[in-house]
Amino acid sequence: MKEEIELDFGRLITAMVTPFNEQGEIHWEETARLIDYLIADQKSEALVVSGTTGESPTLSDSEKVQLFEFAVKHAAGRCKIIAGTGSNNTAHSIHLTKEAERVGVDGVLLVVPYYNKPSQEGMFKHFEAIASSTRLPVMLYNVPGRTAASLSTATTLRLAQIPNIVATKECAPLEQVTLVAAGAPDHFKVYSGDDASGLPAITVGAYGIVSVASHIVGAEMKQMIDAFVGGDTHKATQLHQQLFPVFKGLFECPQPLPNPVAVKYALTLRGLNVGSVRLPLIAPTDEEQGFIRALLNE
């Protein structure tokens, strides 16, 4: 059996958007600029590359591997790079994970298989097979709102016994976050995948947040997390309350808007030319753009 892997991805991880140019291709110069901005200005300690926020469903395998390699080289050790290599096809996930390992990423993010709705045992075997194919640290990603299947607390705790499965990103109720954090081995870390419940999740045992809003308010989120960890719960609560409209507004502007439509537009307002989204996602309407502008101005 492999030895447990001790690797700290940090407490604030940004699920990074993928910049596109006007032709809808990856904008490499802007990708470099975005990485610098997220590390230096927004205090990201790790970046998820080609996750849902990075529009992984519409990226080719070639584009994903190029992004992994580019991010590793450009970050140059300033933050950890976590590659989104999960899918609903175990063999394909293994292939992409091996490619990510080859180009030097620090870890992989594996989403619960979507659409085909496997059983708990099927999900266990899926993640077990991918983890056994790599030496990389693995972060699970439980997001039932997108996958139509949810990794149970019991299955998560079984997977946490596999030495290189070191973390989970949970978009699940706080009850599950609490139970996983309480029952997992010491090396296993729980992350909130929902900005709005990030601080509440940390109060019940989560280690950090995998965030979308950290593209815009990452420095403030880092202050919030550091305040709580340092014992200043009052300051942490105040910051959470101040940031809450941004947490909610980037997904409900003013009606539900698929990620990363809002945050990409918000970044353009901040002077980052990350471009629009690929179909079947579409750019925000004039009304939605006005809402996002007002949100950032506030």
Domain extents in the chain: 12-242
Q: Which fold has domain 12-242?
A: TIM Barrel (3.20.20)
Q: What is the pLDDT of residue 1?
A: 37
Q: Which of 43, 64, 80, 169 is catalytic?
A: 169
pLDDT one-digit tens code per residue, 120-139: 999 999 999 999 999 999 99
- CA 63 from chain centre, in angstroms, equals 18
d(CA 193, CA 7): 19
3 has pLDDT over 60: no
Indicate the pTM of the whole model.
0.96
Closest CA to 86 of 59, 57, 110: 110
Q: Is 264 considered catalytic here?
A: no
pLDDT averaged over every residue in the chain: 96
Q: Which of 37, 141, 191, 265 is catalytic?
A: 141
List beta partners, residue 26: 20
- Judge whether 7 and 106 are in contact, CB under 8 Å: yes
In this prediction, residues 100-116 reach a mean pLDDT of: 97
4 has pLDDT over 80: no
Q: What is the pLDDT of residue 2?
A: 45
Q: What is the pLDDT of residue 6?
A: 56
Q: What is the pLDDT of residue 254?
A: 74
d(CA 139, CA 189): 9
Q: Is 141 considered catalytic here?
A: yes
Q: What values do phi and psi take at 47, rounded to 5?
A: -125, 130
